[in-house]
Amino acid sequence: MTEVLDTVIAAVLSEGWRHWVGSILCLIGAVSTVIAAVGVLRFPDFYTRLHAASVTDTLGALTLLAGMALLAPGIFIVIKMILIGLFLVLTGPTSAHAIANAAYTAGLEPLIGKFRDLKDEDEGESENG
């Protein structure tokens, strides 16, 4: 049973493009995760940092999982990758919403409006805190 499935998968995806596409997807995931980490440090307040962090949840994690699924040796690894992605897609926004809702309920005011200079926001944040 497993051998049959593996041979089918191998026949469909035996060419070199699987390796290349998988590697490129993993690279995209890694780079976007690093950029998101920079964003978490760079953005001015809690809510905007949450936006930066959600990039890791979606593009980062999902492209990494897709890349790993393409590089995987057997069908059962692929199934596990799909399940991990499914759970991430279900739990990621739920926890993000829980954190944001808790912050909003606790009375943390989001910064609203345009700003271009980081110094102004630092002052605004210290006034709030």
Partner 1 sequence: MIYVLGLATALVLLWLGMSGVFEPLVLGLGVVSVIIAIALAIRLDLKDRESSPYHRIFAFLLYTPYLIGEIVKANITVLKAIMSPELDIEPSLVKVKSTCRSDLAKVIFANSITLTPGTVTLRVDDDIMLVHGLYEADAQPEAFEEMDRRSSLAGDGPSTRKGKA
Please report, as ranges, the residues that interact with partner 1 according to CB under 8 A.
Answer: 1-2, 32, 35-36, 38-39, 42-45, 47-48, 50-52, 54-55, 57-59, 62, 74, 76, 79-80, 83, 89-90, 92-94, 96-97, 100-101, 104-105, 110-118
Identity of the residue, 20 or 110, whose beta carbon is nearer to partner 1 in the bound complex: 110
Give least dist CB 43 to partner 1, A: 7
Give least dist CB 16 to partner 1, A: 25
At residue 122, the 3 state secondary structure works out as helix
Specify whether the CB–CB gap between 67 and 19 falls below 8 A.
no
Identity of the residue, 16 or 106, whose beta carbon is nearer to partner 1 in the bound complex: 106
At residue 108, the 3 state secondary structure works out as coil
Give least dist CB 126 to partner 1, A: 18
Identity of the residue, 15 or 117, whose beta carbon is nearer to partner 1 in the bound complex: 117
Write the DSSP symbol of residue 110: P
CA distances from 56 to 27, 35, 96 (A): 13, 9, 12
Identity of the residue, 30 or 47, whose beta carbon is nearer to partner 1 in the bound complex: 47
What is the CA 14 to chain-centroid distance, rounded? 29
- Residues 119, 129: Cα–Cα separation, whole Å: 16
And the tokens for 48?
């905007």
CB atoms within 10 A of CB 65: 22
Give least dist CB 64 to partner 1, A: 13
